[in-house]
Structure 1
Amino acid sequence: MTPIPDPLKPGQESVWSYPRPPRLEASDRRVEVWLGGVKIADTDRAYRVLETSHPPGWYLPPDAFLPGTVQPASGSSVCEWKGRATYWTLQAGGVRAEAAAWSYERPTPTFQPIAGYLSLYAGRVDEVRVDGERVTPQPGRFYGGWITQDVAGPFKGGPGSMGW
């Protein structure tokens, strides 16, 4: 089944206009992350990865995170575009989110600007905000995109979207 892009509302961009392979885009939007009632990250120096059918994946510089809130986790995975991912556990306020974040320590040349930057699953922390708006996690258990009011789907990750 070929998905039909959702109609755009004013100020929205369609994930169906994002390219494949994905594009990396610097952003000066304010990104904040909370875990265990503690704001563990805050930056206006993030990157977005824009890929067809996916809400943007956001990558934050490591210095955006409070000291002691990011710990190595076991496991790794490979992205055909970015390379091998390293996983990280987030912890704060007595809460531990195992393998809730990942980074590309030695990404492919196109994605070199995000070397060492961390992305995270919005559904595994208390809250993530972009310019004050609480994000919705991308559907499914594997993908880590963040849905905000300025992106339109449908989004890969939900039931029936595996072949998109």
Structure 2
Amino acid sequence: MPPRPLPAGPGQESVWAYPRPPRLERTPRRVQIWLGGVLVADTTQGFRVLETSHPPTYYLPRAAFVPGVLSPAPGRSVCEWKGEASYWTLRAGARTEAAAGWSYETPTPAFAALAGAVAVYAGRMDECRVDGVRALPQPGDFYGGWITPDVVGPFKGGPGTWGW
């Protein structure tokens, strides 16, 4: 059964109004990530990727991460829109999250501005915030979108949504 988009209220965006192929946009919003009790990344120079049925995926410049938090992880994957992804292990405090981040070192021309920027799975961090509001992870373990109160779904990623 096809999904039934929820209505967007004042100050909200429906993920069903996002485009496919996805759109890349700069965001001035403050994006913060904690791991192992440590603030490991903080920026107002991030990007968000917006794609139909997905909450935004936030990408932070590598310089936004505390030195030593990121280390290359094995593995590669390919996105039909952005190109080949590289993975990153994040370490801080007493926590290590293997391959919990990813980047596109040489993205496709439409996503060239993302080169080297890093996204993380919100559900594998202690906490991720957008303008001080805690983000929830996109359902499932494949996609990396962050759900905040200003976006409405339903969101792809949970059981039965693969074909959306």
Shorter-normalised TM-score: what interval?
Answer: over 0.9
Aligned position for 2:136: 136
Aligned position for 2:114: 114
CA distance in 2 between partners of 1:51 and 1:81 (Å): 11
Deviations, residues 75-134 of structure 1 (Å, cap 9, x unaligned): 010000000000000000021000000000000000000100000000001000000000
Q: Tell me the CA shift for residue 7 of structure 1.
A: 1.7
When the two structures are aligned, how many residues end up with a matched partner? 164
CA distance in 2 between partners of 1:81 and 1:7 (Å): 28
CA distance in 1 between partners of 2:122 and 2:89 (Å): 13
CA distance in 2 between partners of 1:105 and 1:116 (Å): 5
The alignment status of 1:95 with 2:95, answered yes or no, reads yes
3-state SS in 2 of match to 1:84:
strand
CA distance in 2 between partners of 1:155 and 1:57 (Å): 12
- AA paired with 1:92? A
5+ residue gaps in structure 1?
A: none
Aligned position for 1:153: 153
CA distance in 2 between partners of 1:8 and 1:48 (Å): 19
3-state SS in 2 of match to 1:143:
coil
CA distance in 1 between partners of 2:141 and 2:66 (Å): 26
Q: Tell me the CA shift for residue 61 of structure 1.
A: 0.1
CA distance in 1 between partners of 2:143 and 2:3 (Å): 18
- AA paired with 1:67? P
Aligned position for 1:86: 86
Q: How does 1:8-157 map to 2 (within 5 A)?
A: 8-157=8-157
CA distance in 2 between partners of 1:57 and 1:125 (Å): 14
3-state SS in 1 of match to 2:52:
coil
5+ residue gaps in structure 2?
A: none
CA distance in 2 between partners of 1:19 and 1:87 (Å): 26
Q: Tell me the CA shift for residue 28 of structure 1.
A: 0.5
Q: Percent identity?
A: 66
* Alignment TM-score, normalising by the size of structure 2: 0.99
* Alignment TM-score, normalising by the size of structure 1: 0.99
